[in-house]
Amino acid sequence: MDIRLDNKVAIVTGAASGIGLGCAELLAASGAKVALVDFNSETLPKATKKVQDKGVAKDYLQDVTEIPALAPLVSRIRQELGEVDILVCSAGINIPQLAHEVTEENWDAVHDVNAKGLFFCNQVVAIQSMIPRKTGSIINIASQMGLVGGWKRANYCASKGAVVQLTRAEAVDWAPYNIRINAVAPTFILTPLSEGMLTDPVFKRYIMDNILFHRLGAVDDVATAVCFLASDEASMITGTILPIDGGWTAK
């Protein structure tokens, strides 16, 4: 299927690397005008140049945990690129710890990005650009760890579980406005972030033993699903959590 998103405007948070960057690249290659949002001033311009090689893209330096700044950010994107048709919330962090080691500070840091920042990005884009026009597609990057428990992932699992339930609840609230909200739930994807975790042979074996295909996922595995969910071909799909996990959650 040749998915085309010509003249659509897409915002991607966490776009400077990993899954977010992969989504931004494929969205641009599919014809969308892409706003790359990230807090990393060093990697964001380099990422934007990569996306510009595929299509139209512009970068916006912003931390999604700065909630009061989100409305002005979206207003600026609308002025510079146009009304927002697609939002991909990929910004996320993880601080691996056993449950009894999690501190309040680390709990707040993870949830501020993964759940709170994501929710208010969803809300601001919906209020400003999607509800008034009664159209739009939001794709949240959840995780298989929002569907199952994971070793040293109590904090992360809780935050991604919140993403799963927020996605379902928003789908119910915003269906009258013809806004579709879905989430993808990837397994461990080979990215610069995951590479460091895989240096632990015990942890790597834990992953490979749980993925039925016994291999890591690729960024393109996620980006392709995101572009499909963003497209008109998925017009009857909302409130869905799509695992991209090589069978981990099937067991």
**Mind telling me the catalytic residues?**
156
Whole-number Å distance between alpha carbons of 89 and 118: 6
Cα distances (Å, whole numbers) of residue 82 to 94, 151, 162, 231: 33, 43, 30, 17
Q: How many CA atoms lie within 13 A of 235 on its CB side?
A: 4
Whole-number Å distance between alpha carbons of 65 and 199: 30
Longest CA–CA span in the chain (Å) reads 51
R_g over Cα of the chain: 17
Q: Using N-to-C axis directions, what is the helix angle for 43-52 and 18-29, rounded to 10°? A: 30
Cα distances (Å, whole numbers) of residue 37 to 44, 62, 149: 8, 6, 30
User: How many other C-beta atoms are found inside a 10 Å radius of the C-beta of residue 103?
Assistant: 11
Phi, psi of 141 (to 5 degrees): -90, 100
Single-letter residue type at 92 = G
- 179: enclosing H helix or E strand: strand 179-186
